[in-house]
Amino acid sequence: MLLIMFCTDASAPFLFLFSDVAPPLLYYSHLTSVLSVLLVSLFVFYQKRSLATVLLLVLAISFSAWTIFDLITWVHIDSRIIMFSWSFMNFFEPLVFVVGFYFAYVYLKGRDLPIWGKMGLLSILTPFLVLAGTTFNLEHFDLALCEAIEGPLIYFVYAVELSLLIFIAGFLIKTVIYSEHKRRLEVALFSLGIMLFLLAFFVANALGAVVIQDWTIQQYGMLGAPIFAFFIGFLIVRYQAFSARLFATQLFTIVLSVLIFSQIFFVQSRTNFILVLITFGVSVVVGILLNRSVSSELIRKNELQVMADELAIANQRLKMLDKAKSEFISIASHQLRTPLTAIKGFISLILEGSYGNIDGSVRSALNKVYLSNERLIQLVEDLLSISRIESGRLEYKFRKWAVEELVSDVVDMFRLRARDANLDLDLQLPKDKLPQVDMDGDKIREVISNLIDNAIKYTKQGKVTVSVIQHRKSIRILVQDSGIGIISEDLPHLFQKFSRGKDTSRLHANGTGLGLYVGKQIIEAHGGKLYAFSEGEGKGSTFVIELTIDREESQEDSSLSVDMKKR
């Protein structure tokens, strides 16, 4: 007996899949969807093996399986093949939704479903798996229509899909609302992508099957897949590894070329054919060039990012170190004072004879100890001053001072030393009385003292001249010497802390012990300028303190580090 099993409205498909009885767009919608979804999920899986990427792959495979089976049912004439494929479709269809949810959960939450969740999903799937091969699913085959007639299971399928869809929608909306601000865009985009995909898939199928009874609508539902693939691709580019961008570009250019090439199936004429070929050729060439440029740009971008990150870290450490150093100096200075006081006190008592008479040689030795200790005390004082200056905690007491008196006082202090060093020490003051200057006299005195000290130190013979002049709205104090001078390389570094010039951070034995660095800080806190010039080695140097008569508040941020803004 010959069972009539073949549809009579068409001939057998070529290569199992290709037939011209298929409605237009069939291959287009089905094959491109499968291709795009599989490519993207394979690529993502290749990049990073995790539960989320595995699920994406499973989703892609489920969808692709459904699509291929659907294609088969469209083009085949053997009823057995059609029935077989069709029955599987009604299993893969809900599977797509279930896996879709599972994937969305894992991607958004970053963790696996709890066991009861997996159980729940499995229980939803089981009936479909069990009943797929039964008449509950497909009642029989209608040769005339060349279609399978679906049983009640199909309503169950749609019911499950609809409820899952609503559930997924709810879950996605909830996640978007409760997500952290910075993740919100990513989450929203993902949710939109997957919802569009599932929605398109469901609506097209449901509409096509139940409402309008036109399967061709279904094909449009397929197009949800490339949309989904696009979203996933975009998400990869935006939020994941940079190297994905290159592949995304490659993917885009390949898909574009493929799409252009696939137009071949729809050519109407030879001209059309040639045009399509040309467009295809162009797209391939452009694709290659684009990929090359993206590739090199990415490499450069990566390098820059790495450098920027390292710089930010180094900057952070620098700030911490600076702070730690200041704190250390502060604490150490305070701690050091206790033993220094004890030494000072007890030695002075011994020298005073509180513990009995002492021998002359003992006295001599103890005197040296006492003076050394005084030096130490001064050193601690200096360190503390420097740390105070650097952390901006140095207090200035501003009032009006007569500059001539101040300078003259300081110069007097050095007359003896200059004499000892066989140098002339000259003071030149203007004839007319200068206006008084608003400043912290004690600190300015220290700066001038330091300059004269340096001048004497670095001059073998000749003279040191200190002069005061008024220049428009400011007063200038000049210390000029005929000493070793300053070479031009050293000039810009003179006032820095660890300059390579001869005068590094040498600390004075008297006062607050200022180096040129600290001197500059102090002058700048007055809104003034401290600078030097020299004609070269052996030609002497001139240091200038410039102060405005009426000091304006000028707050300069002299912090060491620079604030870097990340891109």
Partner 1 sequence: MASILLVEDDPMISEIYKKKLEQSGYEVVLSVNGEDALGKMRAHTYDLVLLDLVLPGMDGVGVLKEVSQAGERVLPSPVVVFSNLNDSENQEAAFRFGASGFIAKSQFNPTELLKEVERYIRESSERKKNQEHFASQEALSQKEQMPPDDSGSKHVLFVEDEEVFINLFAERLKKEGYRVTVAETGAEALRVVEEQNVDILVTDMLLPVMRGDELITQVRGLEHGAHIPIVVISASATDEQVAVVKNMSIQGFFIKTRITPSELADHIRQALREE
141-173 per-residue burial string, b: 16 or more CB within 10 A, e: under 16: beeeebbbebbebbebbbebbeebbeebeebbe
- The minimum distance between CB 539 and partner 1, in angstroms, equals 27
Q: Provide the token pair at 73.
A: 């049912």
Nearer to partner 1, 420 or 553 (CB): 420
Tokens read off for 188: 């929203």
Binding mask 508-547 for partner 1 (x = CB under 8 A): -xx-------------------------------------
Pick between residue 303 and residue 424 the one whose CB is nearest to partner 1: 424
Which region, judged by CB under 8 A, interacts with partner 1, from 194-202, 210-218, 354-362, 426-434? 354-362
- CB-based contacts of 389, cutoff 8 Å, min separation 6: 518, 521, 522
Q: Residue 434: which region, alpha, beta or left (left: phi > 0; alpha: psi -120 to 50)?
A: beta
Compute how many other C-beta atoms are within 10 angstroms of the C-beta atom of residue 454: 24
Q: Between 95 and 394, name the residue whose CB sits nearer to partner 1.
A: 394
Closest by Cα among 441, 378, 440, 382 to 410? 441
Q: What span, in angstroms and rounded, lies between the C-alpha atoms of 480 and 465? A: 5
Q: What is the smallest separation between the CB atom of 371 and partner 1, expressed in angstroms?
A: 9
DSSP SS3 for 205: helix
What's the gap between Cα 257 and its chain centre?
Answer: 36
Of 100, 40, 103, nearest to 229 by C-alpha is 40
Options 11, 134, 364, 428; binder of partner 1; rule CB under 8 A? 364
Residue 265 sits at φ, ψ, to 5 deg, of -65, -15
Question: Residues 178, 182, 268, 395: which binds partner 1 (CB under 8 A)?
Answer: 395
Residue 123 or 338 with smaller CB distance to partner 1: 338
**Distance from C-alpha of 556 to C-alpha of 494, rounded to nearest angstrom:** 19
Question: Strands 462-471 and 423-428: what pairing?
Answer: parallel
Out of 183, 184, 337, 502, point to the residue binding partner 1 (CB under 8 A): 337
> Strand pairing of 147-150 and 529-534?
unpaired
- 342 lies in the site for partner 1, by CB under 8 A: yes
CB of residue 238 to partner 1, shortest distance in Å:
51
Stretch that binds partner 1, among 14-22, 203-211, 412-420, 492-500 (CB under 8 A): 412-420
Options 20, 352, 557, 563; binder of partner 1; rule CB under 8 A:
352
Burial 323-355 (b: 16+ CB within 10 A, else e): eeebeebbeebeebeeebeebbeebeebbeeee
Give the x-and-dash track for 413-452 against partner 1 (CB under 8 A): xxxxx-xx--------------------------------
Please say which residue, 417 or 502, places its beta carbon nearer to partner 1: 417
CB of 521 to partner 1, least distance (A): 16
Q: How far is the CB of 319 from partner 1 (least distance, A)?
A: 22
In residues, how long is the chain? Answer: 567
Q: Does 341 bind partner 1 (CB under 8 A)?
A: yes
Between the two ends of the chain, the Cα-to-Cα distance in Å is 78
- Among positions 170-209, residues that touch partner 1 (CB under 8 A) are none
- 485 to 514: interface string for partner 1, x by CB under 8 A: ------------------------xx----
Stretch that binds partner 1, among 103-111, 373-381, 547-555, 558-566 (CB under 8 A): 373-381
Interface ranges with partner 1 (CB under 8 A): 334, 337-338, 340-342, 344-346, 348-349, 351-354, 356-357, 360-361, 363-364, 367, 377, 380-381, 388, 393, 395, 412-417, 419-420, 509-510
